[in-house]
Structure formats: C-alpha cells, structure tokens
Amino acid sequence: MLSINELTYRIGGRLLFDEASAQIGPRRRIGVVGRNGSGKSTLLRLIAGEAHPDGGEIALSKRTRVGQVAQFAPRGDAAVIEVVLAADVERTDLLAEAATAEHGQRIAEIHARLADIDAHAAPARAAKILAGLGFDEAAQASPIGALSGGWRMRVSLAAVLFSAPDLLLLDEPTNHLDLEAVLWLEGFLASYPRTFLMVSHDRALLNRAVDGILHLEAGKLNLYPGSYDRFERTRRERLTHQQDLQRRQERERQHIQSFIDRFRAKATKARQAQSRIKLLERMEPIVTINEEAGVTFEFPEAEVLPPPLLSLDRVSVGYSTDKPVLSRLSLRIDMEDRIGLLGQNGNGKSTFLRLLADQLQISGGSVTRSQKLRTGYFAQDQLDQLDTAETPYRHIARRLPDRPERAVRGHLGRFGFSQARADQTIGSLSGGERARLVLADICCGAPQLLLLDEPTNHLDLEAREALLRALNDFNGAVILVTHDHHMLSLAVDRLWRIADGTCTVFDGDIESYRAELLAPAPTISAGNGEDKRPSRRDERRQRAESRAAVAHLRKAARSAEQELERLTARRTSIEASLADPALYSESADRVTTLNREKADVERRIAETEERWLHANEKLDAAGGADA
C-alpha cells in the first residue's frame, strides 16, 4: 500500500528525516506519534505529495485514492450535508452527467455505476457521519457559512470520512471535537475498512482505534504492532535491551583495551595485541535509543481553605438577562474535588467555567465564594492573546512584579521552561510550549481552584502525562473540560454533565458515560405490533437503574486500582533504594527494614489484585463492566 524508502528531508537546514524507511500494508490502521517538532505533520504532507523529499522515495500502490481533511474550512451557502455528499467526486460527477446525458447506452452505464457504488445510500451514510460528529438534522440542513470555524472543520472531517479514500491521512482529527464526537470517531476508525495514518496525542484513541504505531524519533521511522500501550511497553523493553548491550560492549572494550595496554610492548604478545587493536577498531558501537528528558509540570502548593470553596444556589447565568444559557445551578466545590465536565460543545461548558471564574454576572440565585479563594482559569483563547514579541520570562515577571528573577525563573521551571527557552520570544514557541506558559501564568497566585478548558489541545503525549501527574499531585480543586478520555479517566473522580440548560451530577464513571453514548437506543412495544422509542425520561431512568445496580462493584474496582497504583509506586521506590550502593554503607538495620517493608508491600499488592479481579469478575457477570 505505502512504501517509504530511505526518506531524507530538511526544513530550514534542519535534518528532519535521515534515510528513514517504513512499509505500511493494506487495511492497516496506524497511529503516528513522536515529540512535537519531530516531523509528524510533515510526513503526512510528503505522503500526500504536498512536499517533496530531498532523498529517497515514497511509493503508493497504483490507483490509490488519498484523502485528508482540507486545511481551510469550507464556506458558502450550501447545506452541510450537501458539502459532505460532494466529497464523493465520482458520485457527484455521475449524477451531474445523468442529468444531461442523452444516449441510452451512456445513461444505462451511468446508472449501473451508481448502483455499483451504492449511490442511493450515500445521503444516509453522510447523515450518519454528521450525526456522529454532533450535527442534528436541523444542523445538517443549515448553510455551512453560518457555522463557526470549529464546526466547519468538523464538516471537513465528515467529508473526508464519507469519501472513504484508500489511504486516509488524519492530522490531530480530535482538536475541534468534544468528548462525545471523539468517542464516536474512535468507533468509526476502529472499523475503518481501508488504510489510515493518524497523527494524534489522544492516548485512548491510539489504544482503541489503531493496530500499529509509527514512531518518529531522531530522524528515523519505527513501526510497532498493536496499541499505544503496547508500543510503550515494547519500546521500554527495547531501550532496556539496548542499554544492556551497551554495558556488555563497554566491558568488552575495557577488557580488550586492558590487554592491549599490558602487552603492546612485549615481543611475545605484540601480535596478539595488534589483532585486538584491529578487533577494537572494527567493533561497531551499539546505537543508543534517544531517550530525551521529558517535560515536567508542578503546580504550586495552594493554601488550604475550609469547605466550601464555592457554592451555587439556584443560579442562572448567560450573556443576556432574558435568555440564560444555564439555570437551576445548585452545586458546591470543595478543596479536594476533582471534577470532569461532560456535554457536547455548545451546551455551556465554557460558560459554566466563566461563571466559576467570576467572569460573568449571574441573572438569578446566589454564588458564595471563600474570601481567600484564588482561581486559575485556562481558557481556550488565551494562547492567541499572548504577546508574541515578549519572552516567557518577561511575561511571568510582569505577573510577579515583587518576585526576584530567581523566583520567576523557578516558577517557569515548574512548567518545563529552561533558562534558554524562557528567554526566547513567545512567537518562536511551539503550541505546546505556549500552553505550558499559560498554565504557568494562571498559577502565579498559587490558586486553590484550577478551571481548565481543553488544556491538552496543543500538548504531545509526554506533556499530557506530565500534566496528568501534576494534577494528581495538586492539593487544590480541579474542574476539567477535555476531550481526552485517558485524562478524564485518571485525573477526576467525579463527573458533572452540562445538558438541557443546566449542570447535574453524573452518577457513573467515564466508562459508563462512554457506554451510554455508544449504546443503541432501546425500543419498547407500542402495543399494536409496532415498536416505538421510549421517552428521554424513561431512558435516563433505565440507565440510572443499571448504573446503580453495579455502582458498588465499580467503586470497589476503582478503589483497588488506585491502591494498586500507590503500592506499586512504593515498591518501585523501595527497590530503587535497595539498588543504591550507598545504602549498604549505612547500618544494616536500614536494609533489613526496607526488605521487610518490600515483603509487606508485595503481600498487599497480591491481596489488592485479588480484590480488583473479584470486583471485575462480578461486574462482568452483571454485564456492568462497561456500563
């Protein structure tokens, strides 16, 4: 299908690909990963023919149709569904020709071909894709020019998915999607019948939708089978193996060099010494897998305040007093809360965060805030508001006018900025670095409440993991909006849903929400031989009853999983201490204590694993593992 042979490519004198090779077979679903700046988007451009290699070649099978999302969102008065239907160029051309063809034989050929490509079902297929990406029937019939840029990009995505090319190229397809649309896309791509290459930083998507990972590193391409989690394990094992090989080779080098140094001057050993010199010269060094230092995040410790930090009582809020976006809001936030917000784009998630950030006037009810409450609000548009001519150091120094330079640089260091990067202009920073700068900005006051609206959009996988660790270490409250399923599953322990003009507690975890979204709508008998769909109230009641039936099991499984993570981390720490030679210069009691603690931790790990397995077996038996 796709053959990349000794690809060499430079940008601005920088060698991006250095004789890189990879072979992608038919019907493969490949995730493309690598650090920001490694060349992922450039690789897709090279495959699409939008750029040309400096060396090597990229070859596609004959008659391969390549499709990718248009760079610019479509505009105009055409209905959304018509824009998507037009993406099937052959169908569009045949229908146009059928309207004007006069010769009977040609008319018959056209209709035969339309039947072959199942043209009559095209509107239904297009509508299904658009529905999955969040367009209801009215939105599908509306003019595309009336949509915002983000929604027009969804139309572009729908169009390329509908065209079903032989080779589909996707560059961060989830950037303009909400969680609901991401979950739909995940299922669509998992069953895509042709080949796709997808650049993505969404770990859950890379685990569920692909069957291989193409890793870009140090100018090379390495193809790994399986999901992203399997790639990480395989690469870690490969790194360990390479390090072992390097250590063995270095010992061999030292042994040979020792022989040469000892016997080079002795006549009886000179020949053997010379042969070892040649052996040393011929010894190829083991190639090191480049393990770059990862990005780190560290939120400053917040002053602990008594509960509640903030409470809402029958609050209404919006952008005009006569038409609130959200109403009937009665909720509270405490210091230890980790809350994820669910709901489709346009339902009011950003409005809710602006309310919590005290950026909107309420039109009804009351809001009570702790007098000492400090809030850090990461909004989606803040990256565009940065002064590109300024440096990160100057930007944060303005926010911390009373702090010395050392403290300002220390604060930037918490968010992965070295001194050199802190003195670059903001205009030269990547999207991920700008996102980190905004996070550093909102944390200047050591807030007790973090309000994060899609903070991961510009972060690569390593940076997302660093953010996840930092959120779990943070001692304040977090309200998180993200389409990153992995982040939601590990960073929050409660979910609130924004829907129907209000915010309510969602009784379940992210997996049950996912199952609810993807489950087919049930039907009930109308009593006359026909089936009809139940009311939304009945559906919600049925789902609530199903969740309640297994809620205690799900809670037990989550509790055991969290305990396993804690115990495993402690075992790793103990093993690191026992592996430190300096330990054995101390008293023997310390070694004994650590060994006893390790044995106790391993016993508790075994017991906790049993509890986890028991809870999950019960969930499986109840049909609630994914509910």
Q: Per mean pLDDT, which range of 13-27, 132-146, 472-486, 536-550 is the poorest?
A: 536-550
Find the angle CA(111)-CA(115)-CA(117) to the nearest 5 degrees: 120
State the pLDDT confidence band at 353, using cuts at 50, 70 and 90.
Answer: very high
Q: Hey, what are 30's tokens?
A: 């490949």
Residues β-bridged to residue 216: 221
Looking at the structure, do residues 442 and 569 belong to the same domain, yes or no? no
Q: 375-378 and 449-453 as β-strands: parallel, antiparallel, unpaired?
A: parallel
Q: Hey, what are 246's tokens?
A: 């390097």
- 432 pLDDT higher than 90: no
Concatenated DSSP letters for 159-223?
HHHHH--SEEEEESTTTT--HHHHHHHHHHHHT-SSEEEEE---HHHHHHS-SEEEEEETTEEEE
Domain stops at, among 518, 551, 568: 518
d(Cα 327, Cα 363) in Å, to the nearest integer? 9
All residues at 6 or more sequence positions from 560 whose CB lies less than 8 Å from its CB, including other chains: 608, 609, 611, 612, 615
CATH number of the domain residue 574 falls in: 1.10.287.380
- 6 pLDDT higher than 70: yes
**pLDDT tens across 76-114, in order?**
889 999 999 999 888 888 888 888 888 888 888 888 988
The pLDDT of residue 552 is 66
- 334 pLDDT higher than 50: yes
Domain stops at, among 282, 297, 323: 282
d(Cα 521, Cα 86) in Å, to the nearest integer? 30
Flag whether 531 is in a domain: no
Looking at the structure, do residues 351 and 485 belong to the same domain, yes or no? yes
Amino acid at residue number 315: V
d(Cα 571, Cα 601) in Å, to the nearest integer? 7
* Total residue count of the chain as it appears in this document: 627
Percent of the chain with pLDDT over 90: 48
The pLDDT of residue 525 is 45
Looking at the structure, do residues 398 and 479 belong to the same domain, yes or no? yes
d(Cα 504, Cα 36) in Å, to the nearest integer? 37
The pLDDT of residue 5 is 94
Tokens 């894709």 — which residue?
A: 129
Q: Hey, what are 490's tokens?
A: 């590990």
- 536 pLDDT higher than 60: no
Neighbouring C-beta atoms of residue 142, cutoff 10 Å = 16
Percent of the chain with pLDDT over 70: 85
Rg (alpha carbons) of the chain, rounded to whole number? 29
Looking at the structure, do residues 511 and 553 belong to the same domain, yes or no? no
All residues at 6 or more sequence positions from 430 whose CB lies less than 8 Å from its CB, including other chains: 36, 37, 458
Which has more confidence, 337 or 281? 337
State the pLDDT confidence band at 18, using cuts at 50, 70 and 90.
Answer: very high
**pLDDT tens across 497-523, in order?**
999 999 999 988 888 888 888 776 554
Looking at the structure, do residues 336 and 277 belong to the same domain, yes or no? no
Flag whether 40 is in a domain: no
d(Cα 366, Cα 372) in Å, to the nearest integer? 18
CATH number of the domain residue 448 falls in: 3.40.50.300
Which has more confidence, 275 or 597? 597
d(Cα 139, Cα 161) in Å, to the nearest integer? 18
- 230 pLDDT higher than 50: yes
- 247 pLDDT higher than 80: no
Amino acid at residue number 603: R
Looking at the structure, do residues 339 and 436 belong to the same domain, yes or no? yes
Buried b (16+ CB within 10 A) or exposed e, 156-180: bbbbbbbbebbbbbbbbbbbbbbbb
Looking at the structure, do residues 582 and 436 belong to the same domain, yes or no? no
All residues at 6 or more sequence positions from 266 whose CB lies less than 8 Å from its CB, including other chains: 273
**pLDDT tens across 127-186, in order?**
999 999 999 899 999 999 888 888 899 999 999 999 999 999 999 999 889 899 999 999
Looking at the structure, do residues 345 and 397 belong to the same domain, yes or no? yes
Q: How many domains does the chain have?
A: 4
**Alpha carbon of residue 68 to chain centroid:** 20
The pLDDT of residue 526 is 44
SS3 539: helix
What is the rounded average pLDDT for all residues in the chain? 85
**pLDDT tens across 369-406, in order?**
999 999 999 998 888 889 999 999 999 999 999 999 99
Let me know: does 58 contact 4? Beta carbons within 8 Å. Answer: yes
Q: Hey, what are 278's tokens?
A: 């040649």
Let me know: does 459 contact 435? Beta carbons within 8 Å. Answer: yes
Looking at the structure, do residues 249 and 323 belong to the same domain, yes or no? no
The pLDDT of residue 520 is 65
Cis preceding-peptide flag for 193 (omega within 30 of 0):
no
Give the largest Cα separation in the chain, rounded. 108
**pLDDT tens across 282-295, in order?**
665 554 444 455 67
The pLDDT of residue 55 is 93
Let me know: does 403 contact 440? Beta carbons within 8 Å. Answer: no
d(Cα 377, Cα 441) in Å, to the nearest integer? 9
Flag whether 358 is in a domain: yes
Flag whether 196 is in a domain: no
The pLDDT of residue 527 is 47
- 537 pLDDT higher than 70: no
Flag whether 490 is in a domain: yes
**pLDDT tens across 190-219, in order?**
999 999 999 999 999 999 999 999 999 889
Which of 453, 417, 414, 450 has the alpha carbon at shortest distance from 432?
417
Looking at the structure, do residues 489 and 369 belong to the same domain, yes or no? yes
Residue 601's domain comprises 542-622
Looking at the structure, do residues 399 and 482 belong to the same domain, yes or no? yes
Looking at the structure, do residues 342 and 483 belong to the same domain, yes or no? yes
d(Cα 90, Cα 95) in Å, to the nearest integer? 9
Which of 169, 152, 191 has the alpha carbon at shortest distance from 73?
152
Label residue 451 left, alpha or beta by phi (over 0 means left) and psi (-120 to 50 means alpha).
Answer: beta
- 66 pLDDT higher than 90: yes
Flag whether 174 is in a domain: no
Q: What is the mean pLDDT of residues 530-550?
A: 52
C-alpha separations of 409 from 150, 190, 397, 406 in Å: 36, 45, 9, 5
Flag whether 28 is in a domain: no
Domain stops at, among 141, 164, 187: 164
Q: What is the mean pLDDT of residues 554-578?
A: 81
Exposed/middle/buried for residue 1 (C-beta within 10 Å: 0-12, 13-18, 19+): middle
